[in-house]
Structure formats: structure tokens, C-alpha cells
Structure 1
Amino acid sequence: MIRIASPLVLLTAGLLLFGQGAYIHVKAVIAQILLRHAFAQTVATGHDVKPWSWADTWPIARIEIKRLHADTIVLAGSSGQALAFGPGHVELTPDAGERGVAVYSAHRDTHFRFLKDVIAGDQIDVTRKDGQTFHYRADGSSVVRFDASGIDPFSNNYELVLTTCWPFDAITSGPDRYVLHATMLRPTQTSSDAQLP
């Protein structure tokens, strides 16, 4: 009896773990569909539009790297709840196009999976909720502890940082973060808060 029960318990546990992992990925894909719709409405109306009625966040930007066919909608805030559905704009950092370092964070196995394929020189486009698009050039990357990033959001430059957990293929989370650094090129449109010196 024990010989039969043990494999069944292991099979059941394996199926539950697989189902949980698949659920996370399915949720991430479906959320991005709803977020794209809400972001389009936000840009068109100029008002924050929640992707679903009970959401405690809303889309504020779109990150795109055409060479990699990477395209993802960013949410306001970087809480664990927000990151389950998309990248988050880290609190107290500037918006894309503003002086300083705009920082966006996401999970390595869903929305920022493409970061491992970004190379120096890649163009990263960030469209804000006001419809303005800003172009950044990937300069390089680093791996740092989560509590020792060295990022100064109030820098005098116009920069972008995309960050996720490291290493990319790890199963569990750890203290290290992968940090992709980029510098803004001339914006498509200029505004008073996005003038280059």
C-alpha cells in the first residue's frame, strides 16, 4: 500500500507545483492584455484608468525594446501585488524623461525575462501615460545586493534603470539584483520637465 501511495503523493505534489507555476505565467499574460487596454484609455483620456475594478494600481508607462520584440506595460508602484501583474515604477524615482534616474522593477521570470538578452547600445523606448515617448540607450549592467544598488534617483543626468532578481535561472529569490543602466537620447517630444541641458 505504501508503494502505491508514495508515488501518488509525489505526483499530486508535482502537479500542484506545476499548476501554481503555470498560474503565475498565465496571470501575467492576461494582466498585460488588460493593462494594454487600460493604458490606451489613459493616454487617450488623460485620466488614470484601472485595468480591473478592484485594482489598487494603474498603468503609467510602456517599455519597448524593438530588437527583442519586448513590450510591457508598467504599473504605478512596485509592491509585490503590483509586480504580480507587470513591472512597477519604483516609488520616489522620477518618471521617464525627467531629470534623475527613473527606476522600473519586475520579475525575472515574467515581465523582465528579456533583460538577459539586452546588449549595450540597444534602444529602450518608454512611453509615459501623457503619450510622450523617450528613447534610452542601454549602456551596461551590473549585479548588486538589493540594499546596495548605488542608484541616486536625484542625479543630474537623464537615466533609466531596469532591475530584476539575479541570477535569471534561479528557482528561489536571493539578495542579488540585475541592474540595466541606460541613458536618455533626445526625446521625441519635449516638455518643460524633459528638456535636456
Structure 2
Amino acid sequence: MRRSLIAIVLALAGLVLCGQGVYIHAKALLAQVLLQRAFAETIATGHAIKPWSWADTWPVARIEIRRLHASAIVLAGSSGQALAFGPGHVELTPDAGERGVAIYSAHRDTHFRFLKDVLIGDEIVITRNDGKVFRFRADGSSVVRFDAAGIDALSDGTELVLATCWPFDAVTPGPMRYLLHATLIEDAAAKAQPP
């Protein structure tokens, strides 16, 4: 009798934990559908559209890595609430395509799980909420402590950093971060125009 009771309690605990894991992933997927709609409407109207009425953030960009068929809508800010629904644009960093380093962060097990498959040389396409499209080339990665990234967001280049927790397969939080560094690709059309 006691063994049966222990087995039932353990089974229920396992179901609760599995349910929580499924809930997190389902919420992330549904949020991206609502964010896609809000992002499309933002581009069409030129006004920031919230994905749901109680949202405290709005879409600011879309990240695409076409080789991986990976795409995610980026939200304004990188608070824990925003990161629950999608990647966040880290505060006080420039917009993608502007001078400096634009930094987007997301969770390693949902929206940025594809980062482990990005190869040096892969193209990262960023579409901003003003409709402008910028292409970046992945040119390096690093693993650093969360408080020692050493990124100067106001540097002279035009760069992008995608940041997530490290290691990718960890199940608990830790102090290390994986940074994917990318540089703006000069467009042929822009090069052909006289200064």
C-alpha cells in the first residue's frame, strides 16, 4: 500500500513537471504567432502594436537565419517578462543597422535554441519594425560570464550580438553566456552609389 502511494505521488509530480515544461514551450510558440501578427501590423501602420492588450512590450524586429529555417520576433526590452515570450532587444543598445552593437537576448531552450547550430559565415537577416532590412554575417562566438561580456554598445562598427545562457544543454541557470557576434554585410547597391 505504501509503495503504491509513493508511486502515485511520484507519477503526479512527474506529470506536473512535464506539464510545466510543455506549458512553457506552448506559451512561447503561441506568443510568436501573436507577435508575428503584431509585427506585420506595426510595419503596415508605422505604429507600435502590442501583441495582446495587457502586454508591456511590443515587437521591434524579426531575426531570420534562413539556412536553419529559424525565425523569431524580437521584443522591446530584455526583462524576464519579455523574454518569456520572445527575444528581447537589450536596453540602451542601438537598433540593428545603426552604428554600434545591437544586442538581442533570449532563452537557450526556446527562442534561441537554434544558436547552437549557427555556423561562422551564416547570414542573419534583421527586419526592423520600420520595415528596413539589414543583413549580418556571423563572424565569431564567445562564452563569457554574464557580468563580463566586455561589449561596447557604442563602438564604431555596425554589429549584432545574439546572447543566451550557456551551456545549451543545461537544465539549471548559470553565470555563463554564449554570444554570437555578427557584422553588417555591405550591400552591393550601397557600395555602387557615389559618396
TM-score range, shorter chain: over 0.9
Evaluate the alpha carbon distance shift between residue 159 and residue 17 of structure 1 in structure 2; reply closer, same or farther with a 3 A threshold.
same
Q: What secondary structure, in the 3-state scheme, does the structure 2 residue paired with 1:9 have? A: helix
In structure 2, the residue matched to 1:108 is: 108
1:159-197 per-position Cα deviation (integer Å, ceiling 9, x unaligned) = 00000000000000100000000000125997xxxxxx9
CA-atom RMSD, angstroms?
A: 1.4
In structure 2, the residue matched to 1:126 is: 126
Answer yes or no: is 1:85 the counterpart of 2:123.
no
Say if 1:39 and 1:59, in contact at 8 Å, map to a contact too.
yes
Give the distance between the partners of 1:189 and 1:29, measured in 2 at CA: 36
1:42-99 per-position Cα deviation (integer Å, ceiling 9, x unaligned) = 0000000000000000000000000000011000000000000000000000000000
**Runs of at least 4 residues of structure 1 off by over 3 A?**
187-190
In structure 1, the residue matched to 2:34 is: 34
Give the distance between the partners of 1:189 and 1:37, measured in 2 at CA: 31
In structure 2, the residue matched to 1:181 is: 181
Give the distance between the partners of 1:130 and 1:75, measured in 2 at CA: 14
Moved more, 37-46 or 181-190: 181-190
Q: What secondary structure, in the 3-state scheme, does the structure 2 residue paired with 1:140 have? A: strand
Evaluate the alpha carbon distance shift between residue 76 and residue 64 of structure 1 in structure 2; reply closer, same or farther with a 3 A threshold.
same
Say if 1:97 and 1:158, in contact at 8 Å, map to a contact too.
yes
Say if 1:133 and 1:188, in contact at 8 Å, map to a contact too.
no
Say if 1:132 and 1:188, in contact at 8 Å, map to a contact too.
no
Give the distance between the partners of 2:163 and 2:112, measured in 1 at CA: 8
Give the distance between the partners of 2:132 and 2:189, measured in 1 at CA: 6
Evaluate the alpha carbon distance shift between residue 188 and residue 134 of structure 1 in structure 2; reply closer, same or farther with a 3 A threshold.
farther
Give the distance between the partners of 1:135 and 1:188, measured in 2 at CA: 12
Say if 1:158 and 1:184, in contact at 8 Å, map to a contact too.
yes
In structure 2, the residue matched to 1:70 is: 70
In structure 1, the residue matched to 2:21 is: 21
Give the distance between the partners of 1:119 and 1:188, measured in 2 at CA: 23
Tell me by how many angstroms 1:140 deviates: 1.0
Evaluate the alpha carbon distance shift between residue 188 and residue 6 of structure 1 in structure 2; reply closer, same or farther with a 3 A threshold.
farther
In structure 2, the residue matched to 1:6 is: 6
Give the distance between the partners of 1:46 and 1:148, measured in 2 at CA: 37
Give the distance between the partners of 2:150 and 2:188, measured in 1 at CA: 29
Q: TM-score, normalised by structure 2?
A: 0.96
Say if 1:134 and 1:188, in contact at 8 Å, map to a contact too.
no
